[in-house]
Amino acid sequence: MRNLILSAVFAGASLLGLGAQAEDIEAGKQYVELSSPVPVAVPGKIEVVELFWYGCPHCYQFEPTLNPWTEKLPEDVNFVRIPAMFGGLWNVHGQLFIALESMKVEQQVHKAVFEAIHKDGKKLATPEEMAEFLATQGVDKDAFLKAYNSFGVKSQMEKAKKLAMAYQITGVPTLVVNGKYRFDISSSGGPEQTLKVAEHLIDKERAAK
């Protein structure tokens, strides 16, 4: 299988002294500067994108560090989640996420979906299995299935795939700041250090305005 999930360095990087200090953060070390910047979703705001997969254990482990951070982001920063889709179950789970987002219930059930897969051993591999599970979280089954199979959701899937290609991602979780800078837990040195890199790049973009 292609290198779509980060290696065990996720767990050990911070123990190896790879933590990113502001004065040491630079292109080619903790992050890569994209040769062709990708347009942001909300012009005028600094964008932070997380590319993830519900089935990725590292994405699941990143959640408790990432979520409190996103809740405290300043008004001039826009946080966006994009599902990475490399075929098979990746696409199925990506379609699940986009359907939930289109129903405006993603924030309500995002954590529960992760836990269903990683704690409860559910695969959530079919729309019917998803709908049954989501019903336990207060999401109407028929409304979900309608959204899941809608043209709008499938169009958003194609858009997400094109963005992932433009970001040139090779693993998840990956962050991209303002469509210009790509980095991950491995390159940054751990979950907390990843957010330090994000903050450094947010400050860099803010100063450039």
pLDDT at 25 over 80: yes
- Band of residue 209 on the pLDDT scale cut at 50, 70, 90: confident
Instruction: Tell me the pLDDT tens digit for each residue of 138-154.
Output: 999 999 999 999 999 99
pLDDT, position 63: 98
Q: Which residue, among 34, 44, 74, has the nearest Cα to 203 in the 3D structure? A: 74
Residue 39 in this model has a pLDDT that exceeds 50: yes
Distance CA 110, CA 62 (A): 13
Q: How many CA atoms lie within 13 A of 206 on its CB side?
A: 12
Q: How confident is the model at residue 192 (pLDDT cuts 50, 70, 90)?
A: very high
E strands, the chain, are 32-33, 46-52, 77-83, 174-177, 181-184
CA atoms within 13 A on the CB side of 151: 0
Residues 6+ apart with CB under 8 A from 89: 55, 123, 125
User: Taking residues 99-123, what's their average pLDDT?
Assistant: 98
Tell whether the model's pLDDT for residue 41 goes beyond 70. yes
Q: Tell me: the pLDDT tens digits for 48-104?
A: 999 999 999 999 999 999 999 999 999 999 999 999 999 999 999 999 999 999 999
| Torsion from C-alpha of 183, 59, 68, 104, nearest 10 degrees | 110
* Predicted confidence (pLDDT) at residue 13 exceeds the cutoff of 50: no
The two structure tokens encoding residue 77: 């920063």
**pLDDT of 21:** 58
What are the chain's domains?
A: 23-208 (3.40.30.10)
Q: What does pLDDT average to over the chain? A: 92
